[in-house]
Structure 1
Amino acid sequence: MNRSQISQFIFVFLFTFAGVLTSSAQSNTEQKGDRLYNNKEFAAAIHYYEKELENSDNLAVKRKLVYCYLKTLKDTKANFLLENIVASPNVVAEDYLLYANLLKRLRNYEKAKIWFKKYAELNPDDKNIDKLILSCDLINELEDKQLYSTESVSINSPQADFASAFYKNGLVFVSGRKNQTSREIDGRSGEYYLDMYFAEKSGDRFLQPESFSDEFNTKYHEGPACFSANEKFIFFTRNKGNLNLEGKSELNLYSARHNGKKWDKAELFQFSGKNYSMAHPSISPDGRNLFFISNMDGGYGGTDIYVCRKFGFAWSRPINCGPSINTDGNEMFPFIAEDGYLYFASDGHIGFGGLDIFKSIFEQNEWTYPVNLGPPFNTSKDDFGYLIGKNKDIGYFSSSRNGSDDIFEFKQNPDKIHSLSGRLIASTTKAGLKDVEVILMENLSKEKTTLSDDKGLFTFDIFKGKNYSLIVTKPGFKTKRILYFAQDDENTPKQLNISMDTTQWVKFNGNIIDQFSARAVKEASVQIINQTYRSNSVSISDEYGDFEQDIDPSKSYDIIIQKEGYFTKVINNYKYQSDKFEQIELQKFSTNQNMELYAVEFDPGAWELKKNTIQELNNLAGLLKVNPHISVEINGFTDQDKGKKENKILCEKRAKLAAEYIISKGITANRVQYKSSGFDSGRSALVVKLIEAF
C-alpha cells in the first residue's frame, strides 16, 4: 500500500501526541473532525479542522490538521501551518522535528538542517538526529547526471497508481481509480479502495488498463503483487478491513496458482493472519525466496524487510534481512532482480526526504550496505516500487513527485552511453587470451561480467562521465585491477590493451565429510573469494565429497561451504599450503536439536556474563551470522536447587542476558528466544535449542 492509503506502513508521524490532545471545551466542529480523525479518515477530517481554525487559534487542532495534510500529500498547506506552529510560544521539540522533515521533503535542505539542530538542542539523546543532519549535507553529492530518462506512463490516473510488476507482455499495478468492486471512498485518502489492474503493452505504448482479476479484487484494498518466473503463481497484498484487538487494520499476503485456464481461489500465506501485517511481496527468479515487509515483533523499526526460503514444499519462518537493510524507519517495496540485487524503498537510510530507492546484494553470506540510486529515481518526495527487466534496458518505479503517486518508466539515455572495448594479451607472446573473466565494477558494485573471446576481445556498454574499474582474472595469470577514468569523446581510446603476466596457479583440493558419520557430502557448494579483488569462484563437491579449484597461491581467500541440512561453514583468511589436502567437516542439523555450551560459567546464584561465557556466545553469534536461516532458543539452567521460584528467576536472567548479548552482535531479535529451564545438575548453564532450521 502507498503512503497516503495505509498510514501504519508508509509514514511514522513524528509526534504521536497530536492524536490524543483534546480540550475539555471542544466545539461541535472539532468533535466531528476528531471522530473522522480517530477513524483515520484524514481527507474527510480536513474540512472540519479548517472550519474550526477560522475562528480559533487552537494549537492541538493545528497539529491534527498538519497530520491530515501530510497523510493526504498536501505538503504546501502543511508547511504554511507548521511555520505558524514553530513560531508559537507553546512549541515543543517534536514540532521542530516534524517541520525539519517536511522542509527536507520540500528540498530546502539548509533550512531543514537549522531546525534539526534546534530539535537536537532539546533532545540530545536522539540517536537519529546526527544522521538526519548529515543527510542534508550529503544529499547534494547525489546529482542527476542525466544517465537515465524518465517519463510518466500513460496508464496513470488522477488517483494513486503505483507498485507495478511484470506480467505477460505488460504490467500489473495498483490504483485508487473508480472501479467496479470497491465503489466506496476510503476516508483516509479520499480515493477509492485500491484494486489491481493489468495494462498490456503494444510497442512503446500501453493499452487501456483492465481489472486484473474479479476473483482477487474485493471491496477493500488489494495489491501490490508479484509473480513467479513461469507466471503460474501470484503473491499479493490484501487488506480485508478487519481490525485486530489494538484497533489496527492488518495487511496479509495471499497466494494463488493458475491452473491453465484461470486463477484458483486465493489462499492466505501461512505466516499471515497473525497480530501483525505482511505486505509488498517479491519472489526471486528461482522461486526459492519470497521477500516482503512486516511490522512483526523483533524487527528494527516501523516495517522491516523479511524473506521466507522455500525448501521442497515448505517455507521457512520469516527471516529478518538484518541491520544492513533494515533501520528504525520504514523499509518497503522490496524487489529482487535477476542479477541478485535487492531494490527497496526506505525513509530510514540517508536520502533526499520521504522514501528513497536503494539497492543491496547478498555477498559472502550478508547484505552489503545499501546504495542510494540518486536522481532521477529519488527526489524529496516518496519514491518506491522499483522494477527492472532481465535485460536492464527498461524499468519502472513509482513516485509522488507530481503530487500523487504515479508510475514512471525509465530507460538508459543513449546520448550518455558509449562502448568500452578491450583486448587481453599474454605479456610474453602478445597473443590474445581466451576466456579471461572480466568484471566491470562501479565503486564497490559489480555491474557486469563477461568472458573474452578467441582473440582476447571484450566489450561493455558504459555511461560517459563515470569512473569504473575492471577486474581481469584467468588461471595461470596474475589477477589485475584496471582503473578506468571518465574521458571526453576525443580522448577516449578505441580499445584498452591489457597485458597479463603469467604466474603459477595451483589446484586447491578438498574433501567434504559429515562431522559425525565421516561420510562424503556431495553437491556441497564451495565458494572461494579472493580477498584482494573480492572476485569469487564456485565449485561443487562430487559423489565422493571431493572438489577442486584453481587458485593463486600468493593470495588470501575466504571460503564458504554450504549444503542444505548442514550448518554453513566459513573459513576466513585462508592461505594455500603446498601438498596439503584439505578435509572439511560439516555438521548436520535438525529442528529441536540441542547444543550444550559446556564452556559457559556463572558464579553460584549469579547471572553476569564471564569471559568464557562471552566467548561461547561470540561463537554462537558467529554461527547465526553465517546461517541466517537458523533461529534458536536459549535455555537457562542452574545446578544448585534453591527452590522452584528462585531457580526460575535466576535461569531466566541468565538466558535473557545471553539472548540480549547475541542480539547486540547484530543478530535479529526474532531469531533469538530465551526460556528459563530451572534446576538440572547434569546440564550446562546455557543450552541452545534450534527452533528453526531450513
Structure 2
Amino acid sequence: MKKRYIQIFIFILIAFSGNAQKSLFDDVDMSIDTLQNINTPYSDFGPAIIEDELIFSSYTEEAGKKSDKKNKAFYDLFSSDLNLMGNIITDRRKLTTMISQYHEGPLTFCENTGELFLTQSNWENPQELNIVFKKKNIRLGIVIYEKTALTWQFKEKFPYNSSEYSVAHPTISESGDTLIFVSDMPGGMGMTDLYYCVRQDTGWSKPINLGPKVNTAGKEMFPFLNSDGSLVFSSDGHAGEGNLDLFYIDFPITEYSQRSTFTNNINSPADDFGLVVHPNQRSGYFSSNREGGVGDDDIYYLKMEDYRFNIMTLSNYTKRALIGANVNIIDGDGQVAATGQSDSDGKMSVKLDVDKKYTLIASIDNYLDQVVDLDLTDEGNFVDKNYKVYLDPEFVFQGQVVDILGNIPIPDAMLTINDGNDIDTIYADYQGQFKHNIEPEKDYKVNVTAYNFFGTDIDFNTVGMKPGLIDYLVQLYSLDAGTRIELENIYYDLAKWNIRPDAAQELDKLVSVLEEYPDLQIRLESHTDSRGGDEFNMELSRKRSKSAFDYLVSKGIDPSRVEHVGFGESQLVNKCDDGVSCTEAEHAENRRTVVEILKAKVTRRSKGNIFYF
C-alpha cells in the first residue's frame, strides 16, 4: 500500500467470542487468489464482510486522470454478494446509501446492536472538500450509523474523534461493547498505535493503548477481531517480510499472549493489510499492493485448505460437557484423520482437509456411541467453529412401531410421552423407529397413535433403573375391514356386566377412533373363561357386550355402526377348558373383548408382507 493511500483507514466486521486455545491461523495451509472481477487499475482495499456481502473501498476512475487538477475523486464503497462458503458470486456495484462528498472508508457492522461503524475523511472540515485527498493530511474519524428497515440512519460520531489527529480502523466485538481502532493521538508508542475502548452505561471509556506486544515505533493499523479470539493487525514495526505485514495475537492481551506472523506467502515484500475472515472460518480476504495484481492496491481471496475447529462432546440429557470422551474421525478412504479425547471443557481441537467428507465417532462410558457425518466440501452442510456432538445417555426409550400383521414399519407414528410433569411428542422415522432420552426415577405413560391404526398405551418406570435402554416393539392394529382388535383392560367384576371406570377409559379410546373414522362399522365380541356353566357364561358374555354397546351409544356413536355378540366360553384361546388346572393369569387370557372391523373406507388384503389396496 503506497504512502498516499495509508491515510485511508479501515474497520472490519468481527464476531468476538472470547479466547480460543489455538488460533484459526496456526499450522493451517492457506491459498491465495487474485480477484479479477472486483479489482481495478486503481486502489481497491479494505474488505469487510457483512452478512452475505463483501464491502470494500475503491478509488474512482477519475483519480487516475493525473492532468485533471480539478478532479474531485473520492474513495467510495462498493459491494459484491457472497455465497455460504464466502466466494464472490456477483460483480462489484457501488453503494449509494452512504456515499457522501467525503472519502468513505470500509465499514463494519455489529449485528447484536444494529450499529454500523464507518470511517470518513473531511468529517471535521467540509471546506476542504475540493482538496485532493492525497495532497493534504486530512484527519479521519469514525461515524456510527443505525440500521433501519430501509436504510442507514446517522446516530453519532465516535466521542474521541479529533481535528488534531485521526481515529479510524475500528473493529467491534460481537457484543458491541469493545471497540479497537487506530490513532496517531499524542502519547502513543509510535507513528500510529492500536487502542481500545469499552462501552459502559455512561458511554465509551477512555482509549487504552494495546501495549508493546502490538504497538511499535512504526505504524500499527487495520485491526480485525476474529471469532477464534485472535486480533489480526498490520505493522511495519515488527520483523516481517517488509513494509506492512500481517500479524495476530490473542485478545484480550495478557502477559502470556504471544504475537505470531502469517505463513503461506500471505506476507510479501510489499504492503499486506486489512485481513478479514468469513464467519464460516474457511475463507477470507485481505489487501496488498504486491506484484502480479490488477492495479495498485488489490483485494485477494484467502482460502483455508485446512479447517481447524473444536469438537465439543456434550450430554444430550444434561447438555453439559462430557470430559474424556473418545473422538475418532475417519476419512472417505477409511483412514484415521484425527483421534483424541475431549478436554476439561469437553473440547478436542482438530484440523481437517477441506473438500473432503468424514465420519466422526464419539464414545464414553454410560453413553451411547454417536456417529455423525462431517462434510467439508462446498456442497456440504456448514460445520460450525465449535461443532457440538450430543451423546445419548444410556437412559433411552427406543423401539419401533409396526403393523401387528407382518410387523410392517409404520412411518410417522406419533408417541406422546408423559412423565407426570412434562409431556414430549416425538415421531417415528420412515422405518417406524424412534428414540427418546428419559430420566431416572420416574413413571412414564406413552400413547402411540398413527393414521388408520388403533392406538395403544405403554406404561413403564425407571425407578431403580441403571443406565441403559428400554426397548419396545409397539404393534398396532390397522383399521381395515377384517382386522380383529383385542381391547386391553376391559375388566368386569365377578359375574357382573356393568362398565367399570377402568374399562370406560379403554372404551373411550374406541369412541375417539369411531369419531375420527366415520366410515368404520364394528362388531363387539365378549368372551369369558371356562369357569361357570356354559349357558351362564353365554348369557354373561351377551350382557357384557351389550353394556359395551350401550356405553358407545351413550357417547354419541350411531348404533347402526355397532353390532354386539357374546360367545361365552366357546372360543378359548388356551388350554384352560373345563376341569383343566390353570393359573389366574391363564384364565384372564380368555376373558377378553374383541372388536372386529366389519366395514372400513379401505379393505386391505395381504399377500406375504405386501399389501394391496
TM-score (norm 2): 0.45
Higher helix share: 1
Larger Rg: 2
Higher strand share: 2
More RCO (CA 8 Å, sep 6+): 2
